Amino acid sequence: MKRIFFFLALATLLSFAPAVFAAGGGGGGGGGGGGSSTPSCSQDEYDCSDWSVCSLDGEQERICELVDDCASVTDTEPDTTQSCTPECTQDEWSCSGWSPCFAAGAQTRKCTKSFDCSLTDTASPVTSQACEPNCTQDEWECDEWGACSLQGQQARACTQTFDCEFDDSPAPASAQACTPACTQDTWSCSSWGACDKFGAQARTCERTVDCALTATDKPATSAVCDHLQCDQDELFDRVYCRENLAPAGRAREVEIEYFPEVCRALDVDEQDECVGYYADYNVCWKEPIGEARAACARKTLGLGSDIAAQKLVCGTDEECRQELAEHVYALILLRFYDLEERAEDFIDEGVHTSIVAEFVTKVIENKVTFSKAATYDERRAAIQQMREDWQTFITQVRPILNRSL
């Protein structure tokens, strides 16, 4: 720096040299060649600038220029540097307080420069630092899990006891899957009892495990029999069994196996046709015994009231005559069946079941004989035998019926 000022002073001095030299020459001429003159100066004259701003190192500078170089003296050049006290040494900052400690273990603050020292560029104070957070998570209290439901779920209630400002995690689970201890009551049932006259059977059931999660229905303790009650080997035994059943029991037997006794006695290749006839006019059994039922059967079989006229219509057509004959035979068998039902009605009037069963057995035997007959005379004989058996039966039960009147 001193070297710079020296060169500046030298340059200034050189700029004034011609004038100085010129002035000196003129002065000599004016003296007329005479003796020496009295020096006109006593010291060098300098023109110095103001002191610079005091630096951060405690120094300030100025520039001094020699404006009058007195030849008779040799003065010391004025100081161009000097020690000083800088007006400031650093920037000044104003910082807020530290924020709460975050869950990540850090806290922050804001710092603003309140004084900007032109001599330096002081870095901002630290605005973040590590810390130990007061909490890292919320705190919860939960009840014990409830009983496992039938659907395999259990629940509990949870309450937040401490809300950590740094944690926003969800509440603990309030429901979960589970395996229920039981899904239904357990019952112990006895074997089904024998079928009663109504075609039903019964059993007893006792609950051995009462599942608290559900109310299981008690197993059925009564049911319709799923097997024939009257399936004995002998015809009379089967008839006697059926006669001891209530109407509901007999109906159940028919539902299980619709196989009329007369069809059972026929050859295998004739049984289906026999069952078909009974099934065709099954609806007629609901009609009252007598002409109403017979009229229903005629309609079902396609028979008019005048059988002879229908025979004339067939003429010599053997197939037509044979079909007409089969329908007439079926109608006669229906009449036989009417006798069975009339006899069964006498049971309610005091006639013993065995007496009725014996007559019904004879009716069935006569129907079988009629169905198997190959000639007109054989069929006529079967019809005559049926009339005789009916008269014998009526004679046997009349005293009993009279007593009931």
Q: Is the pLDDT of residue 32 over 60?
A: no
Q: Provide the CA 177 distance to its chain's centre, in angstroms.
A: 13
Separation CA 195–CA 197 (nearest Å)? 7
Read off the pLDDT of each residue in 286-302 and give the average, rounded to a whole number.
87
| Residues 10-29 pLDDT 10s | 344 334 444 343 334 444 44
Predicted local distance difference test score (pLDDT) of residue 202:
95
Q: Please say whether the beta carbons of 194 and 203 come within 8 A.
A: no
Q: Please say whether the beta carbons of 119 and 88 come within 8 A.
A: yes
Q: Is the pLDDT of residue 5 over 70?
A: no
Read off the pLDDT of each residue in 183-194 and give the average, rounded to a whole number.
92
Q: pTM of the full predicted structure?
A: 0.52
Tally Cβ neighbours within 10 Å of residue 352: 13
Q: Is the pLDDT of residue 291 over 70?
A: yes
Q: Is the pLDDT of residue 177 over 50?
A: yes
- Using CB atoms within 10 Å of the CB of residue 333, give its burial: 0 to 12 exposed, 13 to 18 middle, 19+ buried: buried
- 136 pLDDT band, cuts 50/70/90, is confident
Q: Is the pLDDT of residue 303 over 70?
A: yes
| Residues 47-86 pLDDT 10s | 899 998 898 888 989 999 988 888 888 878 898 999 998 8
Q: Is the pLDDT of residue 39 over 80?
A: no
| Residues 259-268 pLDDT 10s | 888 888 888 8
Q: Give the list of residues 6+ apart from residue 200 with CB closer than 8 angstroms, or none.
A: 222, 223, 224, 225, 248, 249
Lowest mean pLDDT among 123-137, 217-231, 270-284, 335-349: 270-284
Separation CA 62–CA 57 (nearest Å)? 16
Tally Cβ neighbours within 10 Å of residue 351: 20
- Residue-range domain boundaries for the chain: 2-23+41-83, 186-224, 258-404
Closest CA to 178 of 149, 156, 202: 149
Predicted local distance difference test score (pLDDT) of residue 277:
76
Separation CA 399–CA 402 (nearest Å)? 5
| Residues 242-280 pLDDT 10s | 999 998 998 888 888 778 888 888 888 888 888 887 787
Q: Please say whether the beta carbons of 337 and 277 come within 8 A.
A: no
Q: Is the pLDDT of residue 366 over 90?
A: yes
What is the pLDDT of the chain when averaged over all its residues? 84
- Using CB atoms within 10 Å of the CB of residue 360, give its burial: 0 to 12 exposed, 13 to 18 middle, 19+ buried: buried
Closest CA to 238 of 213, 257, 210: 257
